[in-house]
Amino acid sequence: MESAPDIQTVDAARGGDSRAMEAVLTYVQPILQAFFTSRTGRGAHVDDLVQNTLLRLHRGIKDLNEANSLKSFTMKAAVFELQDYYRGRYSIKEQLYDPGAMPDGQLEEPSEAAAIDVDRLLAQLTPKARRILELRAYGFKYEEIAGMIDSTEAAVKMQVRRALDKLKQFFVLLLAVGISSMGLSIK
């Protein structure tokens, strides 16, 4: 384990010295690795949490008031990352699958009665709403989407709400048609 950087090194990192910053980040990395592993278990997400915390530290070290409080400053950033993880704000932006393997939880092909034409369903939405829902499905935050489509976060949230309401209405209609075609009734 790296020895703790001295106060002069931390001050140099705060001042923008890249070698000092590297020494600081090298010191805190195993501490963060142990912290996240003990709270979330082993997995690839631990590396993501560590990297995000190191980025927070790198971006925010200039806000560190006292050089001798580096560890507590770092752990505060780690706690914020852990809270985001527990709140479900962490999700993989891109799912990678083996094209020859069945996705988890799917043992057989869905029946024709259960199949829904997704293209027809999404055609009920405006192109902007489809784009926003697609970005949300990839795990982007509302704020990020707003920046991508040159809109406000509130407008993006409203678009998502309206799109989901429209899809819900379509599903209800589809369900009603499907049930009535089977000779059943909704009570």
User: The domain that contains 164 carries what CATH number?
Assistant: 1.10.10.10
pLDDT band at 84 (very low <50, low <70, confident <90, very high): confident
Among residues 48, 54, 50, the alpha carbon closest in space to that of 92 is found at: 48
Mean pLDDT over each residue of the chain, to the nearest integer: 80
Among 64, 86, 108, the domain boundary falls at 86
Question: Which DSSP symbol is given to 65?
Answer: S
pTM for the whole structure = 0.47
How does pLDDT run across 40-68, given as a tens digit for each residue?
Answer: 888 888 888 999 999 989 988 888 888 78
Q: How many domains does the chain have?
A: 2
How far apart are alpha carbons 162 and 101 in whole angstroms? 35
Question: Which DSSP symbol is given to 129?
Answer: H
Q: Are residues 63 and 133 in the same domain?
A: no
What's the pLDDT score for residue 32? 92
pLDDT score of 179 more than 70:
no
Task: Give first-to-last CA distance, the chain, whole Å.
Answer: 66
Contact assessment for residue 15 and residue 5, using Cβ atoms and an 8 Å cutoff:
no
pLDDT score of 187 more than 80:
no
Q: Are residues 36 and 77 in the same domain?
A: yes
Q: Are residues 81 and 13 in the same domain?
A: yes
Instruction: With residue 147 as reference, give the H or E element that holds it.
Output: helix 142-148
How far apart are alpha carbons 151 and 170 in whole angstroms? 27
Angle between helices 44-60 and 18-40 (to 10 degrees): 140
What tokens does 160 get? 């998502």
Among residues 51, 134, 133, 136, the alpha carbon closest in space to that of 85 is found at: 51
Range of the domain at 31: 7-86
What's the pLDDT score for residue 154? 92
How does pLDDT run across 114-167, given as a tens digit for each residue?
Answer: 555 667 777 888 889 988 988 888 788 888 899 989 999 999 999 999 988 888
Q: Is 105 part of a structural domain of the chain?
A: no
